[in-house]
Structure 1
Amino acid sequence: MKPVILTGDRPTGPLHLGHYIGSLKNRVELQETHKQYLIIADAQAMTDNFKNPQMIRENIVEVALDYLAVGIDPAKSTIFVQSMIPELFEATFYFLNLVTVARLERNPTVKTEIAQKDFERNLPVGFLTYPVSQAADILCFKADVVPVGDDQNPMIEQTNEIAQRFNHLYNTELFKKVKALGGTQGRLPGIDGKAKMSKSLGNSISLAEPFDQLKKKVQKMYTDPNHLHIEDPGQVEGNVVFTFLDAFDPNKEEVEKLKDHYRRGGLGDGTVKQRLTQVLEEMISPIRKRREEFAKDKGEVLEICRKGSEQAREVVAQTVAEMKKIMGVGSI
């Protein structure tokens, strides 16, 4: 039997290039060799968007469209909606007893996002504990591998801690160690160069970005602030345009030549940005076209999610039943 992988995204908006290079590209390739479940984590998105549930609901179809547009095949991969699997929340409740508040507060991913969202002491409990929910999402499918961006590695570490704690406490081998599968590139910065790419920070490029908007966003990209004239030597390190070329330009040899030229001087930012615009448009254009085709029948897209949720619930319900039997709860 093929190994199982679990992966997914929060429906807070269309997916962007950071998602693609972080793990989405891997997901398309892995569906040929693995049994794959893709979660649309709408319930998790509520942890910091609880005042806007309608936005989350509307974006479920947007995330599903992005999955289909990049090449996820529902005949090979199961796309499901988190809130349609109540057993996931039951498992989360049991797992919460295996984790301390102090451990959750040390989670680097959580700490970073708390600072970004300026929660401080107004931190919702659901947000603090969402690593436990994520662990339930993974463990209830008994996943072997989870494709993630580098910033999500602490989540996989915490998932393995919960699995080990459950196995030790109840003298079982129900859960196995999960392996994180990183993207082909490190974390992709936003176009401003100041943080990771994020729609909420206004520094992202979506997977279906219209060409005119794509061109404008590339033109706004952070480069070398000291590269004031074409003849000036420029710095490649920290230059977002070259970071994106490294990530997306298939002609690596030509990129290295451009870097050398830029460092020597005599190469303008406009020329480099023009090349990046072309590279990104060649990649995004077919995704955009496929997305437009799928979007013509959003009812069918939602039906794919419904069917996938039914299939996923059967798997999760079986795991939770096993958990409860081991724990000795759920029957008297």
Structure 2
Amino acid sequence: MNSQSPQTVLSGLRPTGRVHLGNYFGAVRNWVRLQEKYRCLYFVADWHALTSDYADPSKIRQATFDAVADWIAAGLDPKRSTIFLQSEVKEHAELHLLLSMITPIPWLERVPSFKDQQQELKDRDLNTFGFLGYPLLQTADVIIYRAHFVPVGEDQASHLELSREIVRRFNNFYGNVFPEPQPLFTETPKVPGLDGRKMSKSYGNTIPLTASADEIRALVMTMFTDPNRIRRQDPGNPDICNLFQFHKLFSDDATIARVDRECRTAQIGCVDDKKLLAEIMVENLRQIRARREEIDRDPSIVWDALREGNRIARQHASETLELVRKAMKIDFPELR
């Protein structure tokens, strides 16, 4: 790649179905912005989903469609970003295997996400080779495209360090094949769930990005508010109120300032504030919702985007694997 070519950004999400607001503000919104400047590849990590959902993979197909449909509805442009399905690019699996030959097991066991997932999904049997190798597959996902950057939040940078260590080890053994992927720090505002915990489908506290207007209104009415505000006439504290966190995401500065002031002086009650917030969210998400409805009427928008994205991704991945095989002395041109 010459110095005039755009640098490569890669990121992916597991197919968990409809994108929720935590996914959107934590990843997808940044993806849309990054496609203006970089060569971007975004993928549905269906193999990663199998590391914890291997017992019942029946939902992956529909979840894949829903994820990509929401990505496109949110502004990802298949003509500007390569959108693909991990399992359709078999080179990921081959590179994962080759990297496993050089990666010490303790490196995998110490990854923070390994321990976090074990704790969060303790109702499932995660004592599998696939789950242990999850971070190694993540590394293969990134470096198979020789990506320069991986978008991360400030608290996620440590997860990328393993990939960088593996790249250094590989390059030390076989020559300078891979660039070390760098973290691309992006704005990732905190998005609480309806109950104040982190927004997560496992907690059942999400708001879908493409929820209908009525869905949004109903869900906002269930939001937890300032637990110390018992009566309507009691002053509230926006700093510990879920509603105010969502105002920061959706409302303009004047509205944020007014809600802050009126909450602290009990001029606005929680129910009225919920109604106000719901209408602001409905309006803010209107275009995304309309685009998703258009995609639902024509599902080929998703499948065509994935088909072309898979083709482009395979081409790039195949070129990288040729370099890897040659560096590792396991290429046999005589057999071709």
User: Under a length normalisation based on structure 1, what TM-score does the superposition of the two structures give?
Assistant: 0.92
Is residue 47–residue 127 contact of structure 1 (8 Å, CA) maintained in 2? yes
Is residue 118–residue 126 contact of structure 2 (8 Å, CA) maintained in 1? no
Provide the C-alpha distance between the structure 1 equivalents of 2:132 and 2:111, rounded to a whole number of angstroms.
9
Is residue 232–residue 266 contact of structure 1 (8 Å, CA) maintained in 2? no
Please point out which of 177, 180, 191 is paired with 2:194. 191
Q: What's the counterpart of residue 314 of structure 1?
A: 315
Provide the C-alpha distance between the structure 1 equivalents of 2:43 and 2:214, rounded to a whole number of angstroms.
31
Provide the C-alpha distance between the structure 2 equivalents of 1:121 and 1:291, rounded to a whole number of angstroms.
36
Please point out which of 133, 140, 158 is paired with 2:137. 133
How does 1:26-105 map onto structure 2 within 5 Å? Answer: 26-105=30-109
How does 1:206-221 map onto structure 2 within 5 Å? Answer: 206-221=208-223
- CA positional deviation for 1:324: 1.7
How does 1:1-332 map onto structure 2 within 5 Å? Answer: 1-118=5-122, 122-149=126-153, 152-170=156-174, 172-194=175-197, 196-249=198-251, 251-331=252-332
- 1:128-168 deviation per Cα after TM superposition (whole angstroms, max 9, x unaligned): 32111111111111112222355543322222222122122
Q: Percent of counterpart pairs with the same letter?
A: 34
Unaligned runs of 5+ in 1: none
CA-based RMSD of the aligned residues comes to 2.0
Is residue 185–residue 247 contact of structure 1 (8 Å, CA) maintained in 2? no
User: Under a length normalisation based on structure 2, what TM-score does the superposition of the two structures give?
Assistant: 0.91
| Residue 188 to residue 182, structure 1, CA distance change in 2 (3 Å) | farther
- CA positional deviation for 1:27: 1.1
- CA positional deviation for 1:245: 1.5
Deviates more, 1:118-127 or 1:79-88: 118-127
- Secondary structure in structure 1 of the residue aligned to 2:298: helix
Q: Which letter maps to 1:238?
A: I
Provide the C-alpha distance between the structure 2 equivalents of 1:101 and 1:314, rounded to a whole number of angstroms.
31
Provide the C-alpha distance between the structure 1 equivalents of 2:58 and 2:236, rounded to a whole number of angstroms.
46
Provide the C-alpha distance between the structure 1 equivalents of 2:234 and 2:31, rounded to a whole number of angstroms.
42
- CA positional deviation for 1:122: 4.4
Provide the C-alpha distance between the structure 2 equivalents of 1:282 and 1:183, rounded to a whole number of angstroms.
25
Q: Which letter maps to 2:248?
A: D
- Secondary structure in structure 1 of the residue aligned to 2:10: strand
Provide the C-alpha distance between the structure 1 equivalents of 2:188 and 2:232, rounded to a whole number of angstroms.
29
Q: Which letter maps to 2:159?
A: M
Provide the C-alpha distance between the structure 1 equivalents of 2:263 and 2:105, rounded to a whole number of angstroms.
49
- CA positional deviation for 1:300: 3.9
Is residue 6–residue 145 contact of structure 1 (8 Å, CA) maintained in 2? yes
Q: Which letter maps to 1:174?
A: V
- CA positional deviation for 1:320: 1.5
| Residue 161 to residue 275, structure 1, CA distance change in 2 (3 Å) | farther
- Secondary structure in structure 2 of the residue aligned to 1:126: helix
Q: Which letter maps to 2:137?
A: S
Aligned length: 329
Q: Which letter maps to 1:212?
A: D
Unaligned runs of 5+ in 2: none
- Secondary structure in structure 1 of the residue aligned to 2:275: helix
Q: Which letter maps to 1:248?
A: F
